[in-house]
Structure 1
Amino acid sequence: MSATAPPLARPAPPPREVTARALVRGLATAQRVIGPVSLLLALALMVEVAVRSGDTATLGSLVLWWAPAFTAAVVLVLRPSVATALMTVAVGLVAGSGFVATMLQSYTPEQSRGLFLVEALAWALMFIGAVRPRAADGALWVIVGLVAGTAALAAGHAIAGRPLELSPDRLVDAVIMTIAYAVVAVGGRRRRDRVPELPDAALVSRRQNAARQRERAAAALVHDTVLASLTLLERTDSRLDDRVRQGIRRDLDAVAGASATSVGVVSAAAAEGSLAARMLAIVDDLRWRGLRVDLSGAEALTSSAGVSTAAAEAVLAAMTAALENVLRHAGIDRAEVTVGRTAQALTVLVVDAGRGFDVAQVPDDRLGVRESIHGRLARVGGAARVWSNATGTTVMLSVPVAAGEESS
């Protein structure tokens, strides 16, 4: 009996990606704010120059060129996108050219504070910032702004009929901002090399865990079928009667046709019949193999509502494994099975009065207790407890009961 594993939820973005994007966004936001702030500083300096020179008419002309560039910079801060970035570059190119030409024609270098005020609009163009959360995008717009600003300066000097003079400060600032984005990009790449993508790692981990569950369940199945058949052959001095042959054939068919459920449980027993009928069939099968099993409380299984298919498979297989251990190791031909049920759990007790064992000393590679009993029940949310001493062994198996679940 198989069950389809639930679809894996789409994992959240990894912390590495979130951090890198946050750094790029923070750097880009800071750049975009610097743009209009620098233009406000340029406006203050223009007012100071106009007051000292007494030329308010030129100030008005300069403001007419300055205002579109400032407006575009503010819009870019409020709504950063490729479209607004391109608009800022286009406005800056036109307004910057007229601003430079007006500044050069109206003021001497001493009056205009040298090249700083002349290059104010061109300098502000470099602070577009990344409009997409990628470091390469930020570096690209720095370069675009530098080129557009330089073109505006060249056009303004040409209109004013002045030889082109450029300050190295803009280039230095552009290099610094490009390096800042490069540091973010290199840091993210190194982190990717050191740490796997978390969604991929989580998916791989879940797949590996599911594979380990299937492997353990398959090992338990082989332990309870093929190894049980080999033990039977040993106990019957290798004489194969018809019933032994049927049992071996049934075990081989179970292994060949077994399938894994979403909780890693491998179905070995036929699913036909009620839970009580299947338990009685297991008891009868063991009886002819030499183990008398006294079953009580089977009336608790007349209704299996609330016991999921996986839980039913697990408790039957674990009970079988416990009885197989009695048959193989206890040195006794009799065991008792008691079934009980509450609103929360279905419980099966397997008790024998044979020679016990030290539970704490069971090696990890022994499948009979670790996987066939504990592992099976744990994978369906159940539990097993084993008590054993020189006077016998008690195994308590418990699986959850939940109203409304698929029943066996």
Structure 2
Amino acid sequence: MSASAPHPLRPAPPPREVTAAALVRGLASAQRLIGPASLVLALALMVEVAVRSEGAAALGALVLWWSPAFVAAVVLALRPTVPTALLTVGVGLVAGTGFVATILQAYTPEQSRGLFLVEALAWALMFIGAVRPNAADGVLWVAVGLGAGTVALVAGHVIAGRPLALSPDRLVDAVIMAVAYAVIALGGRRRRDRVPELPDAALVSRRQHAAQRRERAAAALVHDTVLASLTLLERGESRLDDRVRQGIRRDLDAVAQASATSVGVVSAAPVEGSLAARLLAIVDDLRWSGLRVDLTGAEALATTSVVTDSAAEAVLAAMTAALENVRHHSGVDRVEVTVGRTARALTVLVVDGGTGFDSDAVPTDRLGLRESIHGRLSRVGGTARVWSNESGTTVMLTVPIEATAEGPP
């Protein structure tokens, strides 16, 4: 397979959209090439006229006026900026005036091939082209070039003492170029009215996706805090004593102080203490509610904060959601929690021997498994895996260890 051939498994890139700005740049580049080319043609005609009329002295003077105009046109073609465009207009105005005065004094209209050679420098001035990527700029410079060339022609005729004679061809060419820019502008406006610009559409899509992630994360936070406590009271599984009231108040404070991060994770109010201390506090709260939690491996978290704050919040919240599912649905009062750590990942296993379930049969509108566990971890680059049958359920939660957060192994 040649180096230039596309990879068989890699889709071909989509065709690049031709925008109005690209069309303006293409038209302007073509104009800036026509300008120097027309001046080269004028030089050839000047030599021919000089040979036929035996006017070598006049040819030298004409070349002196032609040269700066040609150099300015080449510079503009290489560096199309506002300063070089203004330089081209200024040089063309002065050089065009001297060129017209010289050729009118040296040759008769019959010798100079009519008005084409007389107006050569003035005609080339119209091909400045747009120096900014919009059609209005192209029309502006066409008008400026037409005006500057006309001034040079009038001034040259006055200096030479000849009656003014102007060709309509320059005006026709200027109108054609202005219409070309207007057609590009009209086409671009119709396209923008029909569909949004691609960068704008991509930005809107990213914002909508981020908003959806924040909404799902917020729903998971409410599900695991206030909604969980109210569900217990509604089912009669708990009494509204002081400890329950404090828990509900703590949940409401967490929701009220929650904030959305750049990756769409809704973080509750900061919790003080190490990751190990926060994990032990969660286990103690669940033990108080009647669920026996056998915890092993927490010492791996005691010496350092091994994951980022967002990942720590996600794995602790997902573990809590898994333990709450055990308490509510498994039919057992005992669960094992095992914490493990490698050089690249932190893993928490939640294992119970209760009534299992079919994860594929869980309704899509249930937030506990979909958002509180899978969604939370995926938003921080982690994963969740669930195995469940009639013998029990195992939930494996994994979050990456960042190099900046990694401590001693």
- Which TM-score applies when normalising by structure 2? 0.84
AA of the residue aligned to 2:344: Q
Deviates more, 1:151-160 or 1:377-386: 151-160
Question: 2: CA distance between counterparts of 1:30 and 1:246?
Answer: 76
Q: SS state of the match for residue 310, structure 1? A: helix
Counterpart of 1:9? none
Q: 1:79/1:209 Cα in 2 relative to 1: closer, same or farther (>3 Å)? A: closer
Q: CA deviation at 1:325?
A: 1.0
Give the counterpart letter for 1:350 in structure 2: V
Alpha-carbon distance between aligned partners in 1 of 2:266 and 2:89, rounded to the nearest angstrom:
66
* DSSP-derived class of the 1:384 partner: strand
2:259 counterpart residue number = 259
Matching residue of 1:310 = 310
The corresponding residue for 2:379 is 379
Paired residue for 2:347?
A: 347
Q: For residue 126 of structure 1, give the secondary structure of its aligned residue in structure 2.
A: helix
- Residue 249 in structure 1 maps to residue 249 in structure 2: yes
Deviations 1:57-79 (A, max 9, x none): 44344334434433443444455
**Corresponding position: 1:273 with 2:273:** yes
Q: Report the 3-state secondary structure (helix = DSSP H, G, I; strand = E; otherwise coil) of the residue aligned with 1:117.
A: helix
Task: State the Cα distance separating 1:142 from its structure 2 match.
Answer: 1.5
Q: Which residue pairs with 1:301 in the alignment?
A: 301
How many angstroms apart in 1 are the aligned matches of 2:141 and 2:269? 68
Question: What SS is found at the alignment partner of 2:166?
Answer: coil
Taking the TM superposition and a 5 Å limit, the aligned residue runs for 1:392-403 are 392-403=392-403
CA change 1:229–1:90 in 2 (3 A) is closer
Deviations 1:144-169 (A, max 9, x none): 22122223333333444544332222
**Distance in structure 2 (CA, Å) of the matches to 1:278 and 1:117:** 89
State the shift of 1:268 in Å: 4.9
Q: Which moved more, 1:296-305 or 1:314-323?
A: 296-305
State the 1:324 CA deviation. Answer: 0.9
Higher relative contact order (CA 8 A, sep 6+): 1
Q: What SS does the aligned partner of 1:125 have?
A: helix
User: In structure 1, how many angstroms separate the alpha carbons of the residues matched to 2:90 and 2:189?
Assistant: 34
Partner amino acid for 1:142? V
Q: Structure 1 residues 341 and 186, CA, compared in 2 at 3 Å: closer, same or farther?
A: same
Q: Take 1:264 and 1:147, find their aligned partners in 2: how far apart are those partners?
A: 58
* Two-structure CA RMSD over aligned residues (Å): 3.0
What residue is the counterpart of 1:167 in the other structure? Answer: 167
For 1:108-123, list aligned pairs within 5 A.
Answer: 108-123=108-123
Deviates more, 1:261-270 or 1:368-377: 261-270
Equivalent pairs, count: 393
C-alpha distance in structure 2 between counterparts of 1:53 and 1:102, whole Å: 15
Q: Quick check: 96-105 or 359-368, which moved more?
A: 96-105
Residue 320 of structure 2: aligned partner:
320
Measured in 2, the distance between the counterparts of 1:385 and 1:87 equals: 69
Task: Tell me how far 1:360 sits from its aligned partner.
Answer: 0.7
* TM-score when normalising by structure 1: 0.84
Q: Is the 8 Å Cα contact of residues 220 and 367 (structure 1) preserved in structure 2? A: yes
Against the structure 1 CA distance between its residues 120 and 240, is the aligned structure 2 distance closer, same or farther, given a 3 Å change threshold? closer
SS of equivalent residue, structure 1 residue 388: strand
Q: Which secondary structure state, in structure 2, belongs to the residue aligned with residue 110 of structure 1?
A: coil
Greater CA drift, 201-210 or 114-123: 201-210
Counterparts of 1:81 and 1:275, CA distance in 2: 59
1:326-367 Cα offsets, whole Å, 9 max, x none, are 221222222222222222222222122222211111111101
For 1:69 and 1:389, the matched residues in 2 are separated by 87
Corresponding residue for residue 225 of structure 1: 225
Does structure 1 residue 370 correspond to structure 2 residue 370?
Answer: yes
> Which amino acid is the alignment partner of residue 27 of structure 2?
L
CA distance in 2, matches of 1:120, 1:184: 28
Partner of 2:9: none
Contact (CA 8 Å) 1:16, 1:188: kept in 2 or not? no
Tell me what 1:291 maps to. Answer: 291
SS of equivalent to 2:294: strand
Whether contact under 8 Å (1:305, 1:403) holds in the other structure is no
Inter-partner Cα distance in structure 2 for 1:269 and 1:286: 20
Aligned to 1:129: 129
SS in 2 for 1:189: helix
User: What's the % identity of the aligned pairs?
Assistant: 81
Contact 1:16 1:191 in 2 (8 A): no
Q: Distance in 2 between matches of 1:219 and 1:177?
A: 59
Quick check: 1:69–1:88 contact (8 Å CA) kept in 2?
yes
Aligned residue number for residue 39 of structure 2:
39
Partner in structure 2 of residue 99 of structure 1: 99
Distance 2:359 2:250 in 1: 31
Q: Which residue of the partner structure matches residue 85 of structure 1? A: 85
Structure 1 contact 260–267 (Cα < 8 Å) conserved: yes
Query: Counterparts of 2:64 and 2:268 in 1: how far apart (Å)?
Result: 86
Q: Partners of 1:273 and 1:55 in 2: how far apart?
A: 98
2:258–2:269 CA contact under 8 A, matched in 1 = no
Structure 2: runs of 5+ lacking an equivalent:
1-14
Q: Alpha carbons of 1:197 and 1:273: their partners in 2 closer, same or farther (altered >3 Å)?
A: same
**d(CA) in 2 for partners of 1:74, 1:308:** 58
